[in-house]
Structure 1
Amino acid sequence: MRIDVHGHLVPEEWLDTYRRAGPGTWPRVVDDPDGSVWVESSDVARWPVPPDLRDAGSRTDALRAGGVDSQLLLPPTPLADYALPAPAGRASARLFNETVSDLARHSAGRFLPSCTVPLQDPDAAVEEVTYAARRLDARAVLLGTNLARFQFDSDELFPFFTRVSELGLPLVLHPNERLGDERLARHRLANLVGNPVDTTVAVAQLIFGGVLERLPELRVCLVHGGGALPFLIGRWVHGAEALGVGRITRSPDAYLDQIYADTIVHDDRALELAVAVLGADHLVIGSDDPYAMGDPELYDRIARAGLSEDLLSATAGRLLGLDATATPAG
């Protein structure tokens, strides 16, 4: 089987609901005369929703043609907007979670539902992840790596992480607003450099802040091959000893058993490093579908690294609470 844990989609029902809501509601869906669709979450924040990000039918056809049996549907990270006022954030998250769950339920297993949560209101985030896991069959929780007024090791968020661990859901960390954006405006560096760096900062906070130590059952999946973690883990190990940093009792690499990464790295050497540091059994297939930064050589690269697609999909099945030997969808 091929199980892809990194696909993005906005259900049409989510868009239609906010279209009908009108101009007094955030988020706001805007249809331009040229046919393009945009979502506005404030007077200055705007992101596009091209057809391949919202058309579930064409996505199904593409997955079937590509031999992908199941794909985890993550919201595009601008949808998980922690800067929205808390009531708007709660409403947007609930609507995405319900509509993506409905889409998955009618897909014969082709789509797997994730959930997003309103972290601007940590108590509501606990409520929402519980609802999504128990009522909507959510298989993972998407978190943007920039949490607005919180850090990943903020005390206010620990009850949320505790609940996620209790529910047995993995966290999927995906970059949204990048650290140091003011220096990354040129040459698309916000994407090329900022995205993997922000993922690295987030997982470093989970490690050094003691979140993974306090919650040994919590599992974290990092997109884009784990960011810079595979390259930096040795520096972290040395720094923890030489500088005495972190609220942890063990070496930073002791927490790698709780960390997984997808295969979007665009370079054979980077994938080999991820295998060496995290282990083949902690990698999962990820396509970043339908974005342009997906890897056109994804499956060839996996083969060149000597990785078994069956192993990657079995790991994804365990991570998402699936039976990876189930009959393929369709």
Structure 2
Amino acid sequence: MIIDSHGHFTTTPAGHQEFRAGQLAALADPSLLVPAAPSISDDAIRESIEGNQLKLLRERGGDLMIFSPRAAGMEHHIPDVATAQAWAGECNDLIARVVGLFPEHFAGVCQLPQTPDGPLDGVVAELRRCVETMSFVGCNLNPDPSGGFWTSKPLTDEYWFPLYEAMVELDVPAMIHVSSSCNPSVHALGAHYLNADTSAFMQLLEGDLFERFPTLRFVIPHGGGAVPYHWGRYRGLAMRMGRPDPSELFRNVFFDTCVYHQPGIDLLLRVIDADNVLFASEMIGAVRGADPATGVPWDDTKHYVDRAELTEEQRHKIFEANVRRVYPRLDAQLTAAGR
């Protein structure tokens, strides 16, 4: 079985974005009414999925995708808590409908209603709602709700502990994933995302978070940012700071394969043990189209993993076993379905 652990609903029906535009307009002009939840038909959802994510998943040999709201659309920099909660709820409800329509091919991961330095009560409540009532298998956690200005406390700070306690109780992981960049010096897709992956790993390296939460699990996407490609730097920094070797983090931290060329995938898989790599594509995401030199779509990461020097055991871990281990609620669902 081939499980893609990183997919976003980037092709939502028009009514979904119209709702968001109405939300933002009402924030800017209090005389406007806050919009009602949009009416989106099942047929509109099917159309948005069948010709896009599902089509590519099948064409590229995948079986199931872990699916979450569009990352850039989370827009956690908007400070209004009520708006964040309504928007996350609407996004997560839409993901639940996708899973309901295509249960063999999608599993839900939720957007959290984060705001810059905002309270976490509503964040925890939304996580519980999605996991306990809609059978979601994880969440996306934004380490920088400010949108590229990094005003938030590091992931090791006690501020985040209520969320971690809920994650541990529910036995769900978080993918570390920022949203849009409001900083004109930091391009969202080419800099902010990879900066965040790298920064998150360094925060974890400096702290003792997993001593307090030994079963907490994080997925750092996009191949781990800069980390695998500068592994000697992180090992050397750990020694300089008197910290354990960064490989100690791999009891709790995992990278994915959203790396869009063969040499990058090859290096990732040489540096990081196969036990800590999850197959993922983030298809129809940041990088679209095909490499003109090869004709291979940039985000067809299965093509690259298939051509990497791996044993069959390693390949099985990356494509399926690791994902099921990191997302035990997904494993339980698949096992119950005889898969």
TM-score w.r.t. the length of structure 1 is: 0.78
Change (3 A) 1:13 1:115: farther
Distance 1:301 1:255, change over 3 A: same
Match status 1:137 vs 2:139: no
SS in 2 for 1:273: helix
Aligned residue in 1 for 2:106:
111
**Residue number among 295, 313, 316 corresponding to 2:323 in the alignment:** 316
Aligned length: 297
Q: Separation in 1 of the partners of 2:202 and 2:136?
A: 26
Letter in structure 1 aligned against 2:324: G
Task: Report the equivalent of 2:49.
Answer: 56
Q: Which residue of structure 1 aligns with residue 159 of structure 2?
A: 156
2:228 pairs, out of 227, 230, 234, with: 230
- TM alignment of 1:179-328, pairs within 5 A: 181-184=183-186, 190-244=188-242, 250-291=244-285, 293=287, 295-307=298-310, 308=312, 309-312=315-318, 313-321=320-328, 322-323=330-331
Cα distance in structure 1, aligned partners of 2:25 and 2:96: 27
Mapped to 2, the partners of 1:27 and 1:286 lie a distance apart of: 38
CA distance, structure 1, for counterparts of residue 267 and residue 216 of structure 2:
24
Shift in alpha-carbon separation, 1:8–1:241, aligned structure 2, 3 A: same
Asked if the contact 1:224/1:265 (under 8 Å) is kept, the reply is: yes
Question: Residues 104-139 of structure 1, C-alpha deviation per residue, up to 9 Å, x if partnerless?
Answer: 022132111110112223111111111111111111
8 Å CA contact retained: 2:143, 2:152: no
Alpha-carbon spacing, 1:23–1:253, altered in 2? closer, same or farther (3 Å): closer
Identity of aligned residues (%): 23
Q: What is the CA-CA distance between 1:213 and the residue it aligns to?
A: 3.1
CA distance in 2 between counterparts of 1:88 and 1:116 reads 13
Contact 1:256/1:278, CA 8 A, preserved across alignment:
no
Tell me the distance in 1 between the aligned counterparts of 2:199 and 2:173: 18
* Bigger mean CA offset, 285-294 vs 84-93: 285-294
Query: C-alpha displacement at 1:73, in angstroms?
Result: 1.2
Displacement after TM superposition at 1:72 (Å): 1.2
Could you tell me whether the CA contact under 8 Å between 1:27 and 1:88 is conserved in 2? no
Query: 2:196 & 2:88 partners in 1: Cα distance?
Result: 22
Unpaired runs of 5+ residues, structure 1, are 29-50
**TM-score of the superposition, structure 2-length normalised?**
0.76
| Equivalent residues of 1:172, 1:220 under 8 A apart | yes
- Counterparts in 2 of 1:257 and 1:132: CA distance versus 1, 3 Å: same
Shift of 1:300: 2.7
Distance 2:96 2:271 in 1: 34
Does residue 13 of structure 2 align to residue 12 of structure 1? yes
CA distance in 2, matches of 1:102, 1:265: 29
Distance 1:311 1:109 in 2: 20
2:130, 2:138 → 1: CA distance?
9
Deviation of 1:70 after TM superposition, in Å, equals 0.7
Structure 1 residue 216 displacement after superposition:
1.4
Matched-pair contact (CA < 8 Å) for 2:266–2:308? yes
Residue segments in structure 2 that go unaligned for 5+ positions in a row: 30-43, 289-297
- 1:138-181 deviation line (CA, Å, top 9, x unaligned): 112112342324232332111112211221111111243459x5
RMSD: 3.2
